[in-house]
Amino acid sequence: MILRRPAGAETEPPRWRPFVARLVTVLAALLVLIALVAPDTIADLTPAAFLRLPAEALVGVAALLVLPARARRPVAVVGGAVLGVLTVLKILDIGFSAVLARPFDPVLDWALLDDGLGFLGSSTGTAGQVAAVAAAVGVTIGVLVLVTLAVVRLAGVAVRHPRPATRAVAVLTPVWVACAVLGAQLVPGVPIASASAAVAAEQRALQVPASLLDQGSFTAALAADPFRDVPADQLLTALRGKDVVIAFVESYGRSAIEQPELSGPVTAALDAGNAQLASAGFATRSGFLTSPVAGGSSWLAHATMLSGLRVSNQARHDALMASDRLTLVNAFAKADWRTAAVMPGTTGEWPEARFYGHQRVYDFPSLGYRGPDLGWASVPDQYTMSAFERMEHAQPDRPPLFAEIALASSHMPWPLIPPVIGWDQVGDGSVYQTFTTGEPRDAVWAKGTEAVRSAYSRSIAYSLQTLVSWAQNSGDDDLVLIVLGDHQAAPVIVGPDAGYDVPTSIITRDRGVLDRIAGWGWEDGLRPSPQAPVWPMEDFRDRFLTTFGMGPVPESH
């Protein structure tokens, strides 16, 4: 017997197919909703942020319903692709806000992605670097494709069911308008009526000309340097014979001394440092500087401090490096100081040294460190200062010295926070093998926020203790030590509203130097109070050159 299927049975869809189709439609709607209303900062990334009605969805459905049939699919594809691109940029904004306290600039920030990748490789190894690249590429392609497909699917549903789609638009549009007018909120601070995607698109469109205009104004500022032609014999006259050392403490921000959950180890180190310095005959004055960056991009803060211009992005930095701007380093070199840079985190070429005016650069290879290899922040600060003392500061019969030192122990992920040991124990750094734990370089991040904040605080305290101990042991009557942070720590550590201020201090035995800066209003001690003066970091060069020299020569001269 031959069994036959009933006629038409082969065309009946499986019973599960309609359910799957409805599920896919629901997931597409959720994805588009997330793409439209998701915030672009990590601080606002909460469930409440998604309880909003996006105006763009209403406008999109209405437009599809009135378009000719042949135009609907191409418009949906283009709209989905645009929304996909905006979503990728929003993801970058969230990442940048978590680390650098600002949104991603699609014109100027691509170079930072490469720098971030290099830091990731040094912190987690090649495997972590490759995994991060693969994940980033996968997420980017996935978001672009899935958002586009989701928009196309929802457009098809709306076109196939025009009456329900029209009714939905007709009902929800006045609801959106009423919520916008009344400022209605289901959750405080989160308005129901949303147009964030449209606003983001407008901001992105304006960002390109804004970035170009920014570069034009910066180029004009480069050309206006009142100190460029000051004669050498009128520069830094009040510091003749002094050794001037500028020590940048990585991520040493105002939050480290003012946030209760961070400040304990740091303020203890500062208070103990005040007593130790006083016992060695030193006095200190402190204030705040406002860095152009937060969370990272330390080289931009260094450039700002040394050039007297706000260098807040890589394009400004590149323009500065191509100019003849007088830096603090150039000024000291012009006035016959020996100039040196100590850069333990630099492992390759550093072409900026020529622009700044450094006659000698001590990078990682030249420091001769033989301690544990723990990635970017391998060299403990005490070893850095010990090497500087041995190779430069303690050299006999040398000219007065100007040095820029970048201390790296407080650079995340804090793989090693040793105690300050006897200076005669530091040697070639091998001693630091005894302080390693054997954990992965980035192990602290797996232990939670409290452990991360503790490691950050302890690392700042270690850097400050190292500098105080070095001044005690190696400082003399001719030392002028300037200690400052380069930027605040990442917002994931200090919070999204921590600001950009960093502490700065001048340490010296010479009361004449302190008398010179009396007009600055800086406070006694290493720890500035909340009421201490705050300057833009770019103001430091001009104030310093004016205070310790003759200043710009009047035009009539």
Q: Is 426 exposed, middle or buried (0-12, 13-18, 19+ CB in 10 A)?
A: buried
Is pLDDT above 70 for 203? no
Residues 185 and 231 in one domain: no
The backbone torsions φ and ψ at residue 338, rounded to the nearest 5 degrees and listed phi first, read: -80, 135
* 269 assigned to some structural domain: yes
Residues 276 and 324 in one domain: yes
Q: Which of 163, 185, 211 is where one domain is finished?
A: 211
* pLDDT for residue 117: 62
What DSSP letter does each residue of 483-529 carry, written as one string? EEESSBPPHHHH-TT--SEEEEEEEES-HHHHHHTGGGTPEESSS--
Residues 249 and 310 in one domain: yes
Query: Residues 449-470, buried b or exposed e (16+ Cβ, 10 A)?
Result: eeebbbbbbbbbbbbbbbbbbb
Determine contact, residues 106/89, Cβ cutoff 8 Å. yes
* pLDDT for residue 399: 93
Domain that holds residue 191: 16-211
Determine contact, residues 384/408, Cβ cutoff 8 Å. yes
Specify the range with the lowest mean pLDDT, choosing from 143-147, 369-373, 438-442. 438-442
* pLDDT for residue 554: 37
For range 359-383, the mean pLDDT: 89
* 365 assigned to some structural domain: yes
Residues 411 and 477 in one domain: yes
Residues 201 and 229 in one domain: no
Helix axes 69-100, 55-66, angle to 10 degrees: 160
Is pLDDT above 80 for 42? no
| Three-class DSSP category at 243 | strand
For range 130-139, the mean pLDDT: 78
Q: Give 208's pLDDT tier (boundaries 50, 70, 90).
A: low
Residue 431 CA, chain-centre distance (Å), reads 32
Q: CB neighbours of 470 closer than 8 A, spacing ≥ 6?
A: 382, 385, 389, 423
Dist CA 342 CA 527 (whole Å): 25
Q: Give 1's pLDDT tier (boundaries 50, 70, 90).
A: very low
CA atoms within 13 A on the CB side of 231: 5
Is pLDDT above 70 for 124? no
pLDDT in tens, 153-180: 888 888 888 888 888 888 878 877 887 7
Dist CA 493 CA 449 (whole Å): 7
Q: What is the pTM of this model?
A: 0.80
Q: Which of 361, 355, 331 is nearest to 343 (CA)?
A: 361
DSSP 46: S
For range 23-47, the mean pLDDT: 79
Dist CA 522 CA 14 (whole Å): 79
Q: Give 47's pLDDT tier (boundaries 50, 70, 90).
A: confident
Residues 30 and 106 in one domain: yes
The fraction of the chain above a pLDDT of 90, given in percent, is: 44
| Three-class DSSP category at 342 | strand
Specify the range with the lowest mean pLDDT, choosing from 24-33, 116-125, 176-185. 116-125
Q: Which residues pair with 403 in a beta bridge?
A: 245, 340
Both tokens of 180, joined, read: 């916008």
* Residue 541, domain CATH: 3.40.720.10
What DSSP letter does each residue of 409-473 carry, written as one string? TTSTT----PPP--GGG-TTSGGGGGG--S--TTGGGGG-HHHHHHHHHHHHHHHHHHHHHHHHH
Give the chain's domain count. Answer: 2
* 216 assigned to some structural domain: no
* 333 assigned to some structural domain: yes
Dist CA 225 CA 330 (whole Å): 13
Residues 349 and 498 in one domain: yes
The backbone torsions φ and ψ at residue 478, rounded to the nearest 5 degrees and listed phi first, read: -100, 5
Q: Give 334's pLDDT tier (boundaries 50, 70, 90).
A: very high
Q: Which of 145, 180, 211 is where one domain is finished?
A: 211
Dist CA 182 CA 167 (whole Å): 23
Which CB contacts under 8 angstroms, 24+ apart, belong to 200-203? 200/40, 200/86, 200/89, 200/90, 201/82, 201/86
Both tokens of 246, joined, read: 């500028």
Residues 349 and 443 in one domain: yes
C-alpha to C-alpha distances, 195 to 54, 184, 221, nearest whole angstrom:
6, 14, 37
Q: Which of 186, 211, 236 is where one domain is finished?
A: 211
Residues 315 and 408 in one domain: yes
Q: Which of 109, 553, 112 is nearest to 326 (CA)?
A: 553
pLDDT in tens, 59-106: 888 888 888 888 888 888 888 888 888 888 888 887 777 777 777 777
Rg of the Cα atoms in the chain: 29
* 2 assigned to some structural domain: no
Both tokens of 258, joined, read: 């003012």
pLDDT in tens, 375-393: 777 899 999 999 999 999 9
Dist CA 150 CA 83 (whole Å): 10
* 303 assigned to some structural domain: yes
* 220 assigned to some structural domain: no
The fraction of the chain above a pLDDT of 70, given in percent, is: 88
Specify the range with the lowest mean pLDDT, choosing from 11-25, 90-104, 109-123. 109-123
Q: Give 30's pLDDT tier (boundaries 50, 70, 90).
A: confident
For range 424-431, the mean pLDDT: 93
For range 395-405, the mean pLDDT: 94
Both tokens of 48, joined, read: 């409440």
Determine contact, residues 465/405, Cβ cutoff 8 Å. no
Q: CB neighbours of 417 closer than 8 A, spacing ≥ 6?
A: 409, 455, 458, 459, 462
Dist CA 425 CA 123 (whole Å): 27
* pLDDT for residue 201: 65
Q: Give 553's pLDDT tier (boundaries 50, 70, 90).
A: very low
Both tokens of 469, joined, read: 């101990």
Is pLDDT above 70 for 210? no
pLDDT in tens, 230-285: 899 899 999 999 999 999 999 999 999 999 999 999 999 999 999 999 999 999 99
Residues 200 and 242 in one domain: no
Residues 280 and 186 in one domain: no
The rounded mean pLDDT for the chain is 85
Q: Is 232 exposed, middle or buried (0-12, 13-18, 19+ CB in 10 A)?
A: exposed
Give the number of other CB atoms < 10 A from CB of residue 98.
18
Q: Which tops the pLDDT comparison, 507 or 110? A: 507
Residues 206 and 309 in one domain: no
* 101 assigned to some structural domain: yes
